[in-house]
Structure 1
Amino acid sequence: MRPLEDVRIIALEQYGAGPFGSVHLADLGAQVIKIEDPRTGGDIGRYVPPYVHGEESLFFETFNRNKQSLSLDISTPAGRAVFEDLVRTSDAVWSNLRGDVPAKIGIRYADLAHLNPAVVCCSLTGFGMTGPRAAEPGYDYVLQGIAGWMSLTGDPDGPPTKTGLSLVDFSSGFVAALSLMAGLHAARRDGVGGDCDVSLYDTAMSLLTYPATWAMTAGYEPVRTVDSAHPSLVPFQAFQAADGWLVVGCAKEKFWQRLVAVLERPDLGDDDRFATFQLRDVHRAELLPQLKTVFAADTVAHWMALLQAAGVPSSPINDVVQALADPQAAARGLLLETEHPHWGTVRQVGSPVRFGDQPTEHRRAPHRNEHQDAITDLLGYPPEKVAALAAAGAFGHQEH
């Protein structure tokens, strides 16, 4: 059995952050039942361009493999009744909605404990369910601005810049999954569930880490750095070679000694101005131009061969296609395939979460409402009850 095969999660999720968090749980074997609102066409991620065909998109495929889908309008009494029956038989309710919405639609622990005292309710919201911003919508780009990330990213002479990936969304998905696992452990130990009040805001702020400590404790004022340089470790940054870019990092003094040997510049290693972390930081204006001149004289491949042989932390700066072609990705089982009736073979990156042997089979993301029959069977509904629920609008007026 996979680690989470005995876990059932009801997911009122949409777009990126929530589905990203729960896809790792699904990969680990959890039964993740996506509740998709038929009034809005289900998860908005189904319609994200540019690769869209009807209600299927490659964006949606990325975040929803190994899940099930049920169209359910929980705003109707009939739809709410189905939802509550699912709560009775499930371990968790998972959502990523605006901070005031879980209370409005009744999916907090206080709303559901009478149905299942051990249920864990994990709400991943923009700003959390408390505080003056609770009712504000939260999106990755917005949070990168509010949390100071953009002030740290980009060239000093350019504008504040977001990261190339939606790292607030994705990091928050991981935080929510970790919170849910803690909640499930406690619920199985104690028999009592509770709320996981997780937010993009909390995640983004927590990831300020040591610059925040420096700023609050020692008055540090973070600034953007040239060539993506580390704020204090020198050299630890991007360097331009004759035909591209590479990253070189001396996070330990031994790496600095190895680097000057590779560059055939023992004079730099003997220079008292560059003898320690602190001194290289103080004298970076004198050191970095010399290093840049050396790296610019030869190719990325030339430098990578020497640096890797010497054990200096380094890498080429790949584009996405080059990154995916690295043999390490295949060796680690990170590249997986699913079969889709429109997209054919969908190749994507798998979960980095590991325990024991990894599964070799993955299912494509579900069509909307694909699993209605399986889920109503799971709940023990006879055909006449399903028909009555459908007539009462539980599954949406256009669902069949």
Structure 2
Amino acid sequence: MDAPLAGLRVLAVEQYGAGPFGTQLLSDLGAEVIKIENRNTGGDYARALGPYFIGETGNDDASLFFQSINRNKKSISLDLKHPEGRAALHKLVAQADAVANNLRGDVPKDLGLTHDALSSFNPKIVCAHCSGYGRTGPRASWPGYDYLMQARTGCFSMSGEPDTPPARMGLSMIDFLGGTYMALGLLAGVIGARSTGKGRDIDVTLFDAALSSLCYLGAWTLNSDYAPARVRRSAHPSLVPCQLYRTADGWIYIMCNKEKFWPILCDLIGCGELARDPEFSSFDKRLARRDALTEILDTALQERTSADWLERLDGKVPCAPIRTPREALTDPELAGSGRVETLELADGTPFQLLSSPFRSAGRADHHACPPLGANTRTVLRAAGLSDPDIDHLFECGAI
């Protein structure tokens, strides 16, 4: 069985994080993603991004950051500012379903990556844009990055412990979210184009991705006097107990997000009387006495190690150990599960990556992203250019 997106062709004018992450979701599902890079400027900036590289090859495909978000793609070199490079792009567009980019908001128009600029070559083409602040308005020309969006939309103010400086999330979640939204919008546009025969522009901004992530906290803030704030021990703003608790050798996260878990927790930790105490009989009452309850539960949970409590609570009360990434990645449960895969650079150097999160009948063959421009000649031939045509593009600097 073919992968779900087999037959979908996406041209990707992308760099760094959000765009490549989004198009990798598509390539993981079987889409043909052709990464268009400009050799004259070094290609995708992430190709040189350290500090960790695969072996000591010095190749432009050896950045672990780059490979982590560019799996299963092809790479061609085109200078889209060069008239003949732009003409080659139009040949590719005629055979593609979509063009994705995560450039600064004012750049797609300059490079001719909008539906208006490309529809004469393919009226069904979908142009998906993921910029910092959008392609119009006073911030269109502003550079925009994940951490800035977290700061602008309130995420910093909700992360970390009270009475400490505002903190960002530990991962670039806005890049990941923005890229995912772009991929989803692109697919929606392609479905629409196949139905109507007309493509369109689809816009996602990192700012909107961050703002929309406020979700129910945004609704609470807009419709009440609620003011999102940092809560000690990464606690839920209203559900108690749902936070970090001390154990004999560290921490455990317990999440009684339904009332039914509260009496089960009390019985399993030897505090059955708490379940019958009217002062702690509901979420509202436990919230009002959160500090007192934290002290009680800390005392009880410090009688055993985290591993002991996990063995006792797992599958009965929602809980989790507090792990480092290395501990998570070396969990015996991952062995043989396919969640970690080994790929090879073009020169045969092996390396490991986290695999696609998608599980489906029909799986795309996984491979590393090749060196910059490795697929240029093959892809341009398939678009109808002859070898002399391609040689000319090399000679004139369009490739």
**Same fold by TM (over 0.5)?**
yes
Deviates more, 1:113-122 or 1:133-142: 133-142
* Counterparts of residues 1-400 of structure 1 (less than 5 Å): 1-52=2-53, 53-55=58-60, 56-308=62-314, 311-330=316-335, 332-341=337-346, 344-359=349-364, 361-395=365-399
The code of the aligned residue for 2:363 comes to Q
Structure 1: gaps spanning 5 or more residues: 396-400
> How many Å separate the matches in 2 of 1:88 and 1:37?
20
What is the distance in 2 between the residues matched to 1:187 and 1:362? 28
Task: Please report how far the alpha carbon of residue 353 of structure 1 lies from its aligned counterpart in structure 2 after TM superposition.
Answer: 3.0
For 2:357 and 2:369, the matched residues in 1 are separated by: 19
SS of equivalent residue, structure 1 residue 333: coil
> 2: distance between equivalents of 1:133 and 1:164?
26
Render the CA deviation track for 1:107-166: whole Å, top value 9, x for unaligned: 111111111000000001011223332221110111110011010000102110011100
Normalised to the residue count of structure 2, the TM-score between the two structures is 0.95
Give the paired residue count: 393
Is the 8 Å Cα contact of residues 8 and 97 (structure 2) preserved in structure 1? yes
* Residue matched to 1:398: none
Give the whole-Å Cα distance in 2 for the aligned partners of 1:392 and 1:357.
Answer: 42
Separation in 1, partners of 2:157, 2:92: 45
Going from structure 1 to structure 2, the CA distance change for 1:358 and 1:255 (only over 3 Å counts) comes to farther
Q: Is the 8 A contact 2:59 2:371 kept in 1?
A: no
Q: 1:328 to 1:108 in 2, by over 3 A?
A: farther
Is the contact between residue 346 and residue 370 of structure 2 (CA under 8 Å) also seen in structure 1?
Answer: no
Hey, what's the Cα distance between the residues in 2 that align with 1:331 and 1:150? 38
- Give the Cα separation in 1 of the matches to 2:17 and 2:5: 22
1:246 is displaced (CA, Å) by 1.4
Amino acid at match of 1:90: A
| Structure-1-length-normalised TM-score | 0.95
CA RMSD of aligned residues (A): 1.5
| Greater CA drift, 324-333 or 22-31 | 324-333
Would the aligned equivalents of 2:30 and 2:363 in 1 still touch at CA under 8 Å?
Answer: no
SS of the aligned residue for 1:64 comes to coil
- The answer as to whether partners of 2:131 and 2:144 remain within 8 angstroms in 1 is yes
In the alignment, the residues of structure 2 paired with residue 192 and residue 174 of structure 1 have an alpha-carbon distance, to the nearest angstrom, of 23
- Structure 1 window deviating more from structure 2 (50-59 vs 156-165): it is 50-59
- Residue 329 of structure 1 deviates from its aligned partner by 3.8
Report the CA distance shift for 1:49/1:236 in structure 2 as closer, same or farther (over 3 A).
same
Amino acid at match of 2:329: L
CA shift at 1:282, angstroms?
1.3
Secondary structure of 2:260's match? helix
Instruction: Decide whether the 8 Å contact of 1:337 with 1:362 is kept in 2.
Output: no
- The answer to whether the Cα contact below 8 Å between 2:27 and 2:73 also exists between their aligned partners in 1 is yes
- Read off the aligned partner of 2:33 and give its amino acid letter: V
Percent pairwise identity: 42
Aligned-partner SS, 2:343: strand
Deviation at residue 332 of structure 1 after TM alignment: 4.9
Cα deviations across residues 345-378 of structure 1 (Å, max 9, x unaligned)?
211112223443434x411111001001211221
- 1:250: Cα distance to partner? 0.3
Deviations 1:57-111 (A, max 9, x none): 1111111111111111010111011111111111100000111111222211111
Q: Report deviation, 1:328.
A: 4.3
- Give the residue type in structure 2 aligned to 1:28: L
Q: Secondary structure at the match of 1:102?
A: helix
The residue type equivalent to 1:99 in the other structure is G
User: Cα offset for 1:341?
Assistant: 5.0
Partner AA of 2:353 in structure 1: Q
Amino acid at match of 2:107: V
